[in-house]
């Protein structure tokens, strides 16, 4: 997930809702087992897939950094190219080309364990910064049109999907029959995000309007909101100015707006 430095790790969260079914979800199947993952370095070993497959989720949700698609210079405090410290003269992270990013997605998708998961579960997701195309990037990133296309290809999004027509990858899903519905809302905290020190917008007006409609739309017993950056944590407030972690806390007005909107739904929201 987003931060000023990133180690190759994989974050996994498993959610058990109700007794297990062993089939992928359809319009009427009760969804009982959901797995979440993020921060998957496609060039590193990923034995965790076997544990995920053994858990047997019906839905797997990517929460971002699904691949590490941008490029990284060495950590250098001294020398011609200084990437960290007060005398830094070149950025440590820089974007990949479209072809480079495509190859990284292909490598990730070909992982045998992940292939096995895709055969058994529905895979959905959003992105964070490194699969968006650049560490800590927001709306200013110029490559976001082709990186959106590559992400949606990775997620096997249909060619006629509305996600391929809109600016940003936010979307929602409804699983299960009436009375046992689970709604999953995936936010895009990158495509429309203002600069980090601006206290501007994370989601942008169109996505905020969409989110309000989603939260007040058809009833679900459980609503899961997926954000690629931390929502509740105030870590940046306690660690700055030594270092900062990207989070909703760095956009306090946006976070308060999100909390008010969730509170207006009153119950059943996990985020």
Q: Residue 19: its pLDDT value, please? A: 35
Measured distance CA(56)–CA(42) in Å, rounded: 22
Do 220 and 270 touch, CB atoms closer than 8 A? no
Which pairs with CB-CB distance under 8 Å and at least 24 residues apart come from 178-181?
A: 179/221, 180/18, 180/30, 180/221, 181/218, 181/219, 181/220, 181/221, 181/222
> Structure tokens of 35?
């797995």
Q: What is the pLDDT of residues 233-263, one digit of tens each?
A: 887 656 655 566 789 999 999 999 999 999 9
Taken in order of first residue, the domains within the chain and their CATH numbers are 34-269 (3.60.21.70)
Q: Residue 12: its pLDDT value, please? A: 53
Answer whether residue 115 shows pLDDT above 80.
yes
Give mean pLDDT, residues 31-36. 96
Confidence label for 28 from pLDDT (cuts 50, 70 and 90): confident
Number of DSSP helices (H) and strands (E) in the chain, helices first: 8, 10
Give mean pLDDT, residues 178-192. 96
Confidence label for 266 from pLDDT (cuts 50, 70 and 90): low
Measured distance CA(235)–CA(196) in Å, rounded: 15
Q: What is the pLDDT of residues 195-222, one digit of tens each?
A: 988 989 999 999 999 999 999 988 899 9
Q: Residue 143: its pLDDT value, please? A: 98
Answer whether residue 57 shows pLDDT above 50.
yes
Q: Residue 18: its pLDDT value, please? A: 39
Q: What phi and psi, each to the nearest 5 degrees, are found at residue 75?
A: -75, 110
> Structure tokens of 256?
């308060």
Stated pTM of the model: 0.88
Confidence label for 150 from pLDDT (cuts 50, 70 and 90): very high
Measured distance CA(144)–CA(33) in Å, rounded: 32
In a 3-state reduction of DSSP, which class is residue 102? helix
Measured distance CA(61)–CA(15) in Å, rounded: 11
């Amino acid at each position: 997930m987003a931060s000023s430095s990133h180690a190759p790790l994989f974050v996994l969260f498993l959610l058990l809702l109700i007794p297990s079914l062993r089939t992928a979800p359809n319009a009427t199947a009760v969804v009982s087992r959901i797995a979440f993952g993020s921060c998957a370095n496609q060039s590193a070993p990923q034995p965790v897939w076997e544990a995920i497959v053994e858990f047997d989720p019906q839905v797997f949700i990517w929460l971002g950094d699904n691949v590490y698609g941008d490029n990284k210079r060495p950590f250098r405090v001294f020398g011609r190219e200084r990437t960290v410290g007060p005398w830094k003269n070149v950025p440590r992270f820089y974007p990949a080309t479209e072809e480079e990013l495509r190859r990284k997605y292909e490598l990730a998708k070909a992982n045998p364990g992940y292939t096995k998961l895709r055969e058994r579960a529905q895979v959905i997701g959003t992105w964070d910064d490194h699969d968006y195309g650049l560490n800590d990037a927001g709306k200013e990133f110029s490559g976001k049109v082709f990186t959106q296309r590559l992400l949606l290809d990775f997620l096997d999004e249909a060619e006629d999907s509305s996600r391929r027509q809109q600016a940003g990858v936010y979307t929602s899903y409804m699983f299960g029959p009436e009375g046992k519905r689970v709604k999953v809302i995936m936010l895009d905290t990158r495509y429309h995000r203002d600069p980090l020190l601006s206290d501007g917008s994370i989601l942008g007006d169109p996505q905020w309007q969409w989110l309000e409609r989603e939260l007040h739309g058809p009833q679900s017993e459980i609503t899961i909101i997926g954000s690629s950056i931390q929502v509740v944590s105030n870590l940046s407030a306690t660690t700055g100015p030594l270092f900062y972690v990207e989070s909703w806390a760095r956009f306090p007005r946006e976070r308060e707006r999100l909390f008010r909107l969730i509170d207006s739904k009153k119950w059943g929201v996990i985020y």
